[in-house]
Structure 1
Amino acid sequence: MDSGAKTQKSGANSDTGAGGQPQWSFLRVVASFRRWWHDAVMGTVEQEEVIAKRREECAISSRYLFMTAMSAGIAILGLLLSSPAVVIGAMLLSPLMDPIMGLGFALAIGDYRWMRQSAHSLAWGTLMAIGLCAMIVFVSPLQDITSEIASRTRPNLFDLMVALFSAMAGAYAMIRGREGTIVGVAIATALMPPLAVIGFGLATLNWTVFTGALLLYVTNFVTIALTVWGMARLYGFSATLSERQTRWQNFVLAIVFIALAVPLGFSLRQIAWEAGAARQVRGELAANFGASSRLSQPEIEFDREPMRVSAFVWTTRLEPDAEVRSEANLARLLDTAVDVQLKQFLVRDEESAEEAQLASVKLAEEEAARDRLQELTARLALAAGVEEDDVLIDRQRRRALVRAKVLPGAPLETYAALERRITATEPEWRVELIPPIATLPSVAFDGEEPDDAAREAITLAGWAAQRLGRGLVVSGPEEQAETVRSLLVGKGAEASLGETRTGEVRVAWAPNEDE
């Protein structure tokens, strides 16, 4: 065979793989996907519109500073009171997500002026929030570390993953114009509560709390910024940088991300050790009493020196030396000093032990439910401006009802927002906050249909009518008034048509029969 034939055969072999399939088919699929992504996905993104809106919301303003301060104040009060509902309210108010998202977009397009603007807004908001929280804690009589505070002092790798996924959702929402998702992202990443905990640590000079919360905050905002940068680049937001500058930028970003992941990895390793230690503690305690005994879930305080373990035991035979034996064995297994405190209850037999354990668990659940109900009552009373005795609670039907007092200057939307906020934290309860009689908003049309603001006004009017049990009268141009009336009926409200006239559609209260 001559050299030309060999070359031809070699070329044929290089183009085909096993079974005669082309080796380059995978590359063609990748190229086809890239073309589709460029045309069908990247080509539909209004980059200039997205950048203009992000740039506008990154600027430092009186609104930004005011909302940050209010969010910080609510967050630190919620943390001191250990109230998750109040903390969630602070997350909803916090505007810190805007400059952090701006950092990511600015990095993606290489706009360092915008990057400095975002960093400037973020720095001022961060320092102001920490200072305000520290001042509130300093003058507050409550300076104990609550469970809400403690939960934000030990960041781990899972916190980084939460920030990563929520930032991807937030960036997608902004790029694709689905910004309603940002509310959920703000709650998931929880930027303001760690800042409040930093202020708490500063005011109480507790550097363990301070550094733990600071690491969590830095983890969240850096992860969000880097993820937004990656999503923006994926959707075609390009930087006007040289190839050398781009490589250096990517290298720096990788170093920052690794620097965050390493300490969080160590934190995750500590949490894994604690989980294993908890299993060993329970196994050791159970081994001291035999199969006929019943053990409560041990409470372990890992931060104490020595580590403290406490539990209840229902047993048919008291073991006076159980604490000593457990301390010695656990110290050997865990390689650390352990202080074991057991409360033993003598029972007749195994069945009695099970009954006593179940009764104890049921009692604890009832106490927790009672505390939760009391907290719900207190929140409703505070939101409505009334005493707790004025809140009606139906435990069997899980219904809570309260009639709100008139809050000076508060529109109906305020009462509806208060009800929504409390309902979000109590999904198993039907919460009804009855607002006072107030002027209903007018309804504007964008062409033949109500605009978005008008639909919100219709929803608000329907909610108020249901809560107050009163009918509504719709007046205005005939066709538009009928449209609004139909929408109100769809919301469950009783609505009738009033006088036909020109101008805006107005919704008013129908007079009561006794008026």
Structure 2
Amino acid sequence: MHTAPFRRQLERLLRVAPESKPAIYLQLFEACDSTSLNYWLELLLSAGIATFGLVLNSPAVVIGAMLISPLMGPILALGLALMIADVYLGLRAAFIILVSVVAAVALSAGIAWLLPYHAATTEILARTQPNLLDLGVALFSGLAGSILVCRGGGAGNISALPGVAIAVALMPPLCAAGFGLGGGPSMSIVSGATLLFVTNLAAITATAFLTFFLVRMDAADVRQRYDQLVREHAWSDPLYLGLMRTIVAKPIGEVGQLRWRVLMLVSLLALLFVPLRRSLVQLRDETSARTAAAEAIRSLGPAGTIVSQVVEPTTNPIIIRLVVADTLSSEAVQAAERLVARRTGRDVSLSVRKIASADELALLRQNLQPPPAPPPPPPPFSLDLVRREALGHLDPPLREAWPAGSAQLLGAELRFDEEGVTVHVRYQAPRPLDTAVEQVLLNVLKARLGMETLRISLAHERPPRNARAAGPRTGAGSPP
């Protein structure tokens, strides 16, 4: 074959010794052991951690799940089986991959169903829109993983390829699909996550196929050793025994010549290319629309002018909604629309709303304030209330001016007539108060009550005989 010299040279440069190839085969063969408890524990733990990491929107937790995931080994084994036309290894790898996918999706769907809420986080949505960039990541990751296996030989466990596992992220798409089933269902999440996983699966298988072909894993001098290893490790496997007892293996090997296997992988990648390219074009258009919208918004004025902005790049026309603090001219708005339309080649709808200034808001609040409440109605007229208020005004000045050392104040009352108001005071003392005291009381009351026409009359009462010996008592009586 004309590629043989190149393959031998590459095999030598990568230091893949012929004697290490059986160990590489055995390593991948054992990675597809469906009876391994360690494999299923790693798978279920990885699926559970990835599901909770996606729900919690925690990249660190999701990365931890990627490190535990054992799916890389069976996928590389599938690539090797396709390359060397090993029907048994291919069926063995395909079976464990299929069961692993079902188990991971079922576990994540069950966890999502038990959750009290089903909000799609950023980590989940990031796995629902794959594009050609994800295909590129998967191709390079598969290439790195298969080269690492070839160079490592039998040293280490190929299910723990940390860098490759983190880069290609096989488990998170499966758990995102499970979340879409158990939390909704949401077919957009399920379909997008499934497309991402199939993309990773096909890309890793194809690059593993290419790598194993370039390092001559199908060399005739090691094929017999592969068959011997299979007989040693699979003699009790019902699948292997069934293949050996039938004539299925031979026609598959004949039909599965190298060119047909290559065509199969290329066709699968070509089928994936169509939706992935569509997603990439959509991402390009969205990015272009957002960039053009940001530039157009900056052209409308300083950053402080724009209070808020909403850009919807996926609609047709592109919708841009702005809330501004200052008035924008219609010419400026139309120029911004033309700028976005020129950059994107799509129609644009730009709407601008101006918020009110502080003075306008103050005026609006003033106009919206309810009218002041009317004063409460005056209380109904009451003669008793008038009496109590009048005596309340009279009592303090009368007690302050009263000569308590000479006479005891018994009470006071107000008498109203056509000529005015008379204050009638009753008091008790051994002898009547003289006229000077009466005049002082009258002057004080006139000044304090503000009534010049006020009159006063004093009614003297003698104290009882037993109290007369003790002398006059101090203190004032209470008005009736």
TM-score greater than 0.5 by the shorter chain: yes
Q: 2:294 aligns with which of 275, 278, 282?
A: 282
Select which of 9, 12, 17 maps to 1:44.
17
Aligned residues: 316
Match of 1:319 in 2: 328
**1:211–1:323 CA distance, 2 compared to 1 (3 A):** farther
Measure the CA separation in 2 of the matches of 1:341 and 1:326. Answer: 13
Distance (whole Å) between structure 2 residues aligned to residue 258 and residue 56 of structure 1: 31
Q: Which residue of 2 aligns with 1:218?
A: 198
Deviations, residues 316-357 of structure 1 (Å, cap 9, x unaligned): x3339799869976689664675757786989xxxxxxxxxx
Letter in 1 for 2:328: E
The letter of the residue matching 1:200 is: F
Q: What's the offset of the Cα at 1:164?
A: 0.7
Structure 1 CA distance for aligned equivalents of residues 140 and 356 of structure 2: 48
Cα distance, 1:266–1:32 mapped onto 2, change above 3 Å: same
Distance across 2 between alignment mates of 1:210 and 1:292? 40
8 Å contact 1:101–1:224 — kept in the other structure? yes
Please report how far the alpha carbon of residue 260 of structure 1 lies from its aligned counterpart in structure 2 after TM superposition: 1.3
Please tell me whether residue 62 in structure 1 is matched to residue 37 in structure 2.
yes
The match for 1:172 is 147
Give runs of aligned pairs for residues 494-505 of structure 1, distance below 5 A. none
Alignment-mate amino acid for residue 261 of structure 1:
F
CA RMSD of superposed structures (Å): 3.6
1:427 aligned residue = none
Quote the offset at 1:96 in angstroms.
1.2
So what's the TM-score if we normalise by structure 2?
A: 0.58
2:7–2:216 contact (8 Å) kept in structure 1: no
Deviation at 1:206, TM superposition (A): 1.2
Pairs within 5 Å for 1:316-465: 317-319=326-328, 335=346
Question: Aligned partners of 2:135, 2:24: CA distance in 1, in Å?
Answer: 26
Which residue of 252, 259, 279 corresponds with 1:267?
A: 279
Deviation for aligned residue 1:285: 2.1
Compute the displacement of 1:235 (Å).
0.5
Q: Determine which structure has more spread, i.e. the larger CA radius of gyration.
A: 2
Post-superposition offset of 1:219: 0.2
- Helix, strand or coil at the partner of 2:273: helix
Distance of aligned partners of 1:250 and 1:34 in 2 relative to their CA distance in 1, 3 Å threshold: closer
After TM superposition, give the deviation of residue 68 of structure 1 in Å: 1.3
Kept in 1: contact 2:323–2:355 (CA 8 A): yes
Q: What is aligned with 2:185?
A: 205
Q: Is the 8 A contact 2:290 2:311 kept in 1?
A: yes
| Corresponding residue for residue 262 of structure 2 | 250
Q: Match for 2:114 among 112, 135, 139?
A: 139
CA separation of 1:82/1:49 partners in 2, compared to 1, >3 Å: closer, same or farther?
A: same
Identity of aligned residues (%): 35
- CA shift, 1:286, in A, is 2.7
Residue 139 (structure 2) pairs with residue 127 (structure 1): no
Deviation at 1:250, TM superposition (A): 1.6
**Aligned 1:221-240 pairs, distance under 5 A:** 221-238=201-218
Decide whether the 8 Å contact of 1:76 with 1:197 is kept in 2: yes
Q: Which protein, 1 or 2, shows the higher relative CO under an 8 Å CA cutoff with sep ≥ 6?
A: 2
**C-alpha distance in 2 between matches for 1:121 and 1:244:** 21
Structure 1: 5+ residue stretches without partners:
1-27, 348-515
- The answer for unaligned runs of 5 or more in structure 2 is 224-252, 359-480
* 8 Å contact from structure 1 (residues 198, 213) kept in 2: yes
Conserved? CA contact 2:82–2:261, under 8 Å: no
Which sits farther off after the overlay, 106-115 or 35-44?
35-44
Question: CA, structure 1 residues 43+144, in 2 after alignment: closer, same or farther (shift >3 Å)?
Answer: closer
Query: What SS does the corresponding residue of 1:232 show, helix, strand or coil?
Result: helix
The TM-score, its normalising length taken from structure 1, stands at 0.54
Query: Structure 1 residues 185 and 250 mapped into 2: Cα distance closer, same or farther (>3 Å)?
Result: same
For residues 55 and 147 of structure 2, the distance between their equivalents in structure 1, rounded to whole angstroms, comes to 35
User: SS of the residue aligned with 2:301?
Assistant: coil
CA spacing shift, 1:298–1:95, aligned 2, 3 Å: farther
CA distance in 2, matches of 1:35, 1:72: 41
Q: How far apart are the structure 2 equivalents of 1:131 and 1:292? A: 49
Q: Give the 3-state SS of the residue equivalent to 1:142 in structure 2.
A: coil
Instruction: Provide the C-alpha distance between the structure 2 equivalents of 1:140 and 1:339, rounded to a whole number of angstroms.
Output: 41
CA distance in 1, matches of 2:114, 2:354: 40
Query: Partners in 1 of 2:356 and 2:145 — Cα distance?
Result: 54
Letter in 2 for 1:184: G
- Note if contact 1:326-1:340 (Cα within 8 Å) is conserved in structure 2: no
Are the structure 2 counterparts of residues 233 and 35 from structure 1 closer, same or farther at C-alpha, using a change threshold of 3 Å? closer
CA contact (8 A) 1:42 1:235 kept: no
Deviation at 1:111, TM superposition (A): 0.8
Shift of 1:308: 5.8
How far did residue 66 of structure 1 move?
Answer: 2.2
Q: CA deviation at 1:238?
A: 1.2
Q: Is the 8 A contact 2:15 2:151 kept in 1?
A: no
The one-letter code matched in structure 1 to 2:112 is V
